[in-house]
Amino acid sequence: MFSLKGKNAVVTGAGSGIGQAIALAFAKQGARVDVLEINTEAAGETVEKIRSEGGEANAVECDVTRHDHVQEVFDKLGIDRGGLDCLINNAGIAHVGNITNTSEDDFDRVMSVNLKGVFNCLKGGVQQMLKSGGGSIVNIASTVATMAINDRLAYSTSKGGVLAMTYAVAKDHLHDKIRCNAIQPGRIHTPFVDGFIAKNYPDNQEEMFRKLSEYQPVGRMGKPEEVAAMAVFLCSDEASFITGSPFAVDGGTLYVR
């Protein structure tokens, strides 16, 4: 079960954190993985890790915010690989702020990576899947797409949009054998979280780490591998009846507070 053998997968932002864990897990399950990253050094590290474990991977420089460039990347991958089976839209950035202190520039920047970046990759990815007769897409949203926490105005808005795009793509491509689902991770311990704590709470990092861990009903943060396992399942043939659904991987945050 859960084999991805023979499948071509693209994971965006796979140089770090959740994306890296997804790329490693996909390769372990037999997929050939293209690591799309703005950070080429980080992409190279992920590829090295995969190859050292006997998997197949390739690093591709890609800034998901650049529409035409993203299109070219997907067109080329479609030709080189002979199609696309799995697309994981994972690249994203954090932002802290409410409506009064979020600047227009900050709002635009968050939207451009977290929402337009997903739009750009969906466009490129769905075109390739239509050519190769179907596929599975997983968009990494967040618990804050459907619940409020303080000071995440722009970030939550972008993730709500990711969820809405998930439903739209699932509906539009129901009969094209393209499934599109979303994962709503709770707080997962990655460089994204460490960077957030260091930037916003430089003087009490340990206390903030403890507080953020205790926020999850299970009492800890998640691990990137725990999100990756859900992505593997959603792209496997065992998930063939699942489309247009959000899946919480959140230690109980959304439903068992």
Q: Which is nearer to ligand NAP, 191 or 244 (CB)?
A: 191
Residue among 176 and 214 whose Cβ is closer to ligand NAP: 214
- Taking contact as CB under 6 A, which single stretch among the options 91-99, 127-135, 163-171, 197-205 is the one that binds ligand NAP? 91-99
Among 8, 29, 90, 157, binds ligand NAP (CB under 6 A): 90
Distances (CA, A) of 240 to 22, 124, 221, 233: 19, 22, 30, 10
Q: Which position among 11, 18, 110, 111 is part of the footprint of ligand NAP (CB under 6 A)? A: 18
111 binds ligand NAP (CB under 6 A): no
**Termini Cα distance of the chain:** 32
Q: Which of 26, 119, 192, 247 is close enough to bind ligand NAP by CB under 6 A?
A: 192
Check binding of 64 to ligand NAP (CB under 6 A).
yes
Which residue, among 161, 183, 181, 189, has the nearest Cα to 242 in the 3D structure?
181
Selecting among 155, 201, 215, 255, the annotated active-site residue is 155
Q: What are phi and psi of 150, to 5 degrees?
A: -65, 145
The nearest distance, CB 62 to ligand NAP, in angstroms, is: 6
Site map (CB under 6 A) of ligand NAP, residues 151-190, x = contact: ----------------------------------x-xx-x
93 in contact with ligand NAP (CB under 6 A): yes
Q: Long-range pairs for 48-53 at CB < 8 Å and ≥24 separation? A: 49/20, 49/24, 50/23, 50/24, 53/24, 53/27, 53/28
Q: Which single residue is written with the structure tokens 């992920």?
A: 46
- The verdict on whether 155 is a catalytic residue reads yes
Q: Does residue 37 bind ligand NAP (CB under 6 A)?
A: yes
Q: Does 139 engage in binding with ligand NAP (CB under 6 A)?
A: no
The count of residues in the chain is: 257
E strand residue ranges, 4-125: 8-12, 32-37, 56-61, 86-89
Q: Is 38 in the site for ligand NAP (CB under 6 A)?
A: yes
Interface ranges with ligand NAP (CB under 6 A) = 12-13, 15-19, 37-39, 42, 62-65, 90-93, 113, 117, 140, 142, 185, 187-188, 190-193
Residues catalogued as catalytic: 155
